[in-house]
Structure 1
Amino acid sequence: PLAERMRPSRLDDLLGQGEALDAVLRQSLCEDRLPSLLLWGPPGCGKTSFAACVAASTQRLFRSLSAAKCGVSELREELSRAANALRLRGVGTILFVDEIHRWSKAQQDALLMDVEKGTVTLVGATTENPSFSVNNAILSRCRLVLFRKVDDDALSAVLDRAIAADAALQGAALSPAARRALVAAADGDARVLLNTLELAAAASRGGAGAGGAGAGGAGDGDGTAWAVHEDAVLAAVQRRATYYDRNGDFHYDLISALHKSLRGGDADGALYYCCRMLEGGEEPRYLTRRLIRFASEDVGLSDPLALQQAVAADAAVHAIGMPECGVCIAQCAVYLALAPKSVAVYRAYNAAMKSAADEPRCPVPMHIRNAPTKLMREVGCGKGYQYNP
């Protein structure tokens, strides 16, 4: 694939991560004294490419594992090789573990002793929040390097470099609209950018073979100029998969954004984040449960109909399901965003719960106790109670 052919081998060629690759990290790599690292960032931002740069520059052994494919037995084999190399030849090992979050905490524990002793220098890569997906003991032994989505300028530079360097793209020219479409479709993911470019270029070449040079395509790599147009890019993109997970950062970030949009009266934002979650495959009743809670917690008695709207939306989801129920959820979200807000009931409930927990044996006052028998009335239960409707 083009993305693999264009993988950089020098740190200076890794675009869009200037903040992550600071002077200290560059110096440690240059002097081959790289510490254990944890690379955290979204897909296609350069984590694996950084590991390739390390492999190309180090004098130490470089070994690579994918946590998605390998288990503890394969890990222990690598650790044993690293120990032998250090003992017999005095050569250290850098161990790159891609998708380290795929391993359980128990599996990650197998790394601890060798990282602690310096048998291996760990370079782990993850797309998940390491606070939740990586063992705390591993975290404490690694420097966290935060990779971000590749910005549009860097993506455009990646396109220029690929067209200039790759033989399959010799003579290719991107129209401005095609360039914009590629960058927009990539959404910060350089791997998606290059894969989409490769598909669009192949389609343009095929069009040229069918319609000649006048069709806006290419010859057979003879240096003839040819164009990649927006329609070829859009055909290659078709539909971008939605980044979403039901238990990870995307899930919690989006539900947080929905709540804050509702609280702030931003109906457009609330609708957008609802749709993001539904488009990502979120269970609709998860959303309606959150909306029901919001109706009581944040709207409360300022608009008692809000709770009815939320309960009705949940009933609609149960009755008709997706995709038809999506508009019912949307109606409820917009209603709650525009409704007046009051947290008085929520705060009163919390205060009452605290009192109940602090004073679980507080006696009920005599005048409001139940008095169903003559004896209970004689001892004072219900005495002095007055009902004033």
Structure 2
Amino acid sequence: MTSLFDYREQESPSGMRPLADRMRPEKLEDLAGQPHVTGPDSLLRSALEKGTLFSMILWGPPGCGKTTLARILAGMTGAAYVQISAVLSGVKEIREVVEAARRRRGEFQKDTILFVDEVHRFNKSQQDAFLPHVESGLVTLIGATTENPSFEVIPALMSRCRLIVLNPVPEEAVRQVLLRALADTEKGLGKMGLEIEPEALAHLAALADGDVRTALNNLEAAALLRPAGTGVTITLAGVEQALDKKALLYDKSGEEHYNLISALHKSLRGSDPDAAVYWLERMLSGGEDPFYILRRMVRFASEDIGNADPSALGVTLNAMEAYRFLGSPEGDLAIVQAAVYLATAPKSNSLYTMHGEIKRVVKQTGYLPVPKHIRNAPTNLMKDLGYGKGYKYAHDFKEAFVPQDYLPEKLAGSLFYHPTQRGYEKTVKERLDKWRALKKRYRENEKKGAPDDRDQTPE
């Protein structure tokens, strides 16, 4: 008996299905904008060629092709494809899917690919229900998530799956998908004989923000809601009217969108509130999505200000919530307020450079073991193995600081964070310099075999 959760049972007739669903690629090479996943030298290609498809977690933004990729893999392997949503399903449904997979293998020698959309929505017990069946190979799990799986998916399940990261689809790739949909006479809009202005095509691709599904849905709306008298051409004005989204003032090369956000970012970094608000208003009046601007400003608060003014991040997030509450035009002033605050705040890129350096070190050194003295030791066995031995509880010492190493042994003594003398970071630097000097002295005494001169006196 076919599983209740087999996606193919839920499909609508092709004429009733949205364009985005009709235009789903059926071959790996047709998946847009993910060459690192689908290319000839990719891990996925290699596994398919060897017939050793593995369980995986697909992590990426909406509309980047997670569901489509899962279906393509099922088609290429000949496995049964079963799709469930973590929002609507629980342990009971998981057990039913597993039982159906067991029958399918026993009666038909057919494998099962189980696609779980929004897998991060499953709680721990629901995720635990997958473990033995993923490990035994009864089901090949493909979980899809827009959230960081290292936070949302339990480690036991992550260790049994490969992480495949999908990226937002580049605008050029989105444009090619839209043109293909306009030309396709079988599944697309080709029978309508439509043409599209380059400006309209660029606007649709930019509005999608890397989401192919959104791009195709918007194209379908623009095609069906063309203003009277526009004939078979989809115009920029027609797209604006159909979607109620005014286009930005693109130049001939389509770069004005990026020029404006670059001008805003550099004006903020250059501490020029007048220029910053000028470019901000240029973007708002040009029809830019205010949340796109706010997302960039939130990033700026950490990248270019950081701990020089820790309040900058909160101010910008509050502006985002104020705009969400008020909308335009009332909420525009909250964005202006945040922009002026960011422009006039002390600047530091110490967090940005620190993060980049640590990412490089992690990539170079791999996953070094956690030092035993800072490992968790909830059981006697762990304590017998030395977990937690020698750990000094900071609050037992004056100023709640005690010199001890927290990095892996191979990296002991490494310094990544170099605060500036600007804003609040000057205070951070003074405090950190003092602590680092104490730790350096302790480490040097330890090498010499000198007595431990840490202040052991509790506060």
TM range (shorter): 0.5 to 0.7
- Aligned residue for 1:122, secondary structure, equals strand
Larger RCO of the pair (alpha carbons < 8 Å, separation 6+): 1
Shift of 1:281: 12
1:331 aligns with 2:340: yes
Q: 1:154 to 1:299 in 2, by over 3 A?
A: closer
Q: 1:227 to 1:239 in 2, by over 3 A?
A: closer
Could you tell me which of 189, 192, 201 is aligned with 1:179? 201
Could you tell me which of 429, 444, 459 is aligned with 1:347? 429
1:298 aligns with 2:394: no
Larger radius of gyration: 1
- Aligned residue for 1:128, secondary structure, equals coil
Answer whether contact 1:267 1:338 (CA < 8 A) is retained.
no
Q: 1:334 to 1:280 in 2, by over 3 A?
A: same
Shift of 1:70: 1.2
The residue aligned with 1:13 is 30
Answer whether contact 1:68 1:99 (CA < 8 A) is retained.
yes
Could you tell me which of 140, 145, 150 is aligned with 2:164? 145
- Aligned residue for 2:38, secondary structure, equals coil
1:157 aligns with 2:176: yes
Which whole-Å CA distance do the structure 2 matches of 1:122 and 1:313 have between them? Answer: 39
Which whole-Å CA distance do the structure 2 matches of 1:4 and 1:90 have between them? Answer: 30
What CA deviation, in whole Å up to 9, does each residue of 1:224-250 have, x standing for no partner? Answer: xx111011212233359xxxxxxxxxx
Q: 1:2 to 1:94 in 2, by over 3 A?
A: same
What CA deviation, in whole Å up to 9, does each residue of 1:47-76 have, x standing for no partner? Answer: 111112123223222211111221221111
Identity level (%): 35
Q: 1:261 to 1:347 in 2, by over 3 A?
A: farther
Which whole-Å CA distance do the structure 1 matches of 2:217 and 2:181 have between them? Answer: 11
What CA deviation, in whole Å up to 9, does each residue of 1:128-168 have, x standing for no partner? Answer: 11111111122111122111111122112111210111454
Instruction: Map 1:1-389; keep pairs closer than 5 Å.
Output: 1-23=18-40, 24-29=43-48, 32-165=51-184, 166=187, 168-170=189-191, 171-204=193-226, 207-208=227-228, 215-217=229-231, 226-239=232-245, 279=291, 297-298=307-308, 323=331, 324-337=333-346, 341=422, 343-350=425-432, 359=455, 361=457
Which whole-Å CA distance do the structure 2 matches of 1:47 and 1:313 have between them? Answer: 31
Where does the alignment leave 5 or more consecutive residues of structure 1 unmatched? 209-214, 218-225, 241-259, 301-306, 364-389
- Aligned residue for 1:97, secondary structure, equals strand
Which whole-Å CA distance do the structure 1 matches of 2:173 and 2:341 have between them? Answer: 41
Shift of 1:196: 0.5
Answer whether contact 2:56 2:142 (CA < 8 A) is retained.
yes
Which whole-Å CA distance do the structure 2 matches of 1:262 and 1:361 have between them? Answer: 51
TM-score of the superposed pair, with normalisation by structure 2: 0.57
Range 172-181 or range 13-22, more displaced: 13-22
Answer whether contact 2:59 2:163 (CA < 8 A) is retained.
yes
Could you tell me which amino acid in structure 1 is paired with residue 244 of structure 2?
Answer: Q
Shift of 1:361: 3.2
Where does the alignment leave 5 or more consecutive residues of structure 2 unmatched? 1-17, 247-264, 349-420, 439-453
Q: 1:159 to 1:299 in 2, by over 3 A?
A: closer
Which whole-Å CA distance do the structure 2 matches of 1:72 and 1:179 have between them? Answer: 45
Q: 1:278 to 1:361 in 2, by over 3 A?
A: farther
Which whole-Å CA distance do the structure 2 matches of 1:168 and 1:310 have between them? Answer: 45
Q: 1:270 to 1:93 in 2, by over 3 A?
A: farther
The residue aligned with 2:383 is none
Could you tell me which amino acid in structure 2 is paired with residue 237 of structure 1?
Answer: L
Alpha carbon RMSD of aligned pairs, Å? 4.3
Answer whether contact 1:185 1:237 (CA < 8 A) is retained.
no
